[in-house]
Chain A
């Protein structure tokens, strides 16, 4: 029993850590603001969730377990909302998403990259 939960917990922790790293890579490499934000917010929500569930499996007492559940609920509520607010603010201030052009290729964007702001 304890063996299974330990392995499961570590699998979740490692997978969560991997997703964190992949989200960061996406944040650096994706072409425009919206795809970068997608990489950051989507993988972060999943990665944080996995890490928290992995920690829950190792929680020594029920109080620690309950606190981790509360953190998970908080993250699941706030992280997508923050992503939504960010995307909405970008759209509101006139930043358009990069869309595929006629040949299915992404149009070259004359604007400087928005990721630095």
Chain B
């Protein structure tokens, strides 16, 4: 029965991907990409990977769809037609490249162990230690959180730095053309009374849910990445319905930029504090008197740093894109 559902979801994924390739309307493509994200999330739930599914639903289906829509409002709605003589549309080269790469990848899978094989390196290398010792070494119920924040603390630090760099990149590319003067509010959202009232009811709930996801990550699916994205989406909702001018009164862009850096700094400081106390970088055992307590504190602060950086960078990207678009006077 379960493999039946797997087959259905996987074929829906393939169909959605084919539709993404075929459809020329980029708004529809964005929505299809969101559907693709939701389907992947359902598939991950079926595979019992709840943390991954949560991340995919929040990031893949949620925030990236929104960010792509914001980008589309800057670029234009339709793909350039292939018949247009001015477009440099050369499918043969891309097709060859994709075919060769795909063939190489499929050839590469021949050397890999079978799916779910007991002697595969993924089952024998470090996973047994994580699964067997996480309960005594770190003592939190969600093993994914202990792997992500403690055993693999370096990797997660790298991811946070990548997100921070993305925020800096967007600012460096687009910020220079944005004036700090307040821009006029588009009136198109003024009459959306029902949307405004419902979103006013929902925004506090979204913020509380974000905090719940942030601080409940050790006990269930969740953590800094998902929480940051959910927290930022509340600000997106407010900005879209009440206008950028109103949103700018809530979100001070200088503060948000400082917060984006502060999250990374908090993460790194936890690592440096462990070094000062005599351990290795990000060795939380040295943060408190006993190891388990130190692990708990380390994971809490590290996840907080992740959440702060992710939320701030998402808000920075969204606001920079929308301000840029508004200033260019691009009609809706």
Contacts and interface: CB of A to CB of B under 8 A. Distances in A.
Interface of A: 74, 77-78, 81, 84-85, 88, 117
A84 B201 contact: no
B194 interface: yes
Interface string B291-316: 00000000000000000000000000
Contacts of A77: 198, 201-202
Interface of B: 25, 28, 192, 194-195, 198, 201-202, 205
A81 B28 contact: no
A47 B192 CA distance: 27
> At the interface, is chain A mostly helix, strand, loop or mixed?
helix
A81 B25 contact: no
A117 B28 contact: yes
A91 to B, nearest CB: 12
Contacts of B25: 117
A84 B192 CA distance: 10
Contact of B198 (A78, A88, A117): A78
A36 to B, nearest CB: 15
Contact of B202 (A78, A85, A88): A78
A25 to B, nearest CB: 18
A51 to B, nearest CB: 15
17 contacts: A74-B202, A74-B205, A77-B198, A77-B201, A77-B202, A78-B198, A78-B202, A81-B194, A81-B195, A81-B198, A84-B194, A84-B195, A85-B192, A85-B195, A88-B192, A117-B25, A117-B28
A108 to B, nearest CB: 25
A78 B233 CA distance: 15
B287 to A, nearest CB: 31
A77 B195 CA distance: 10
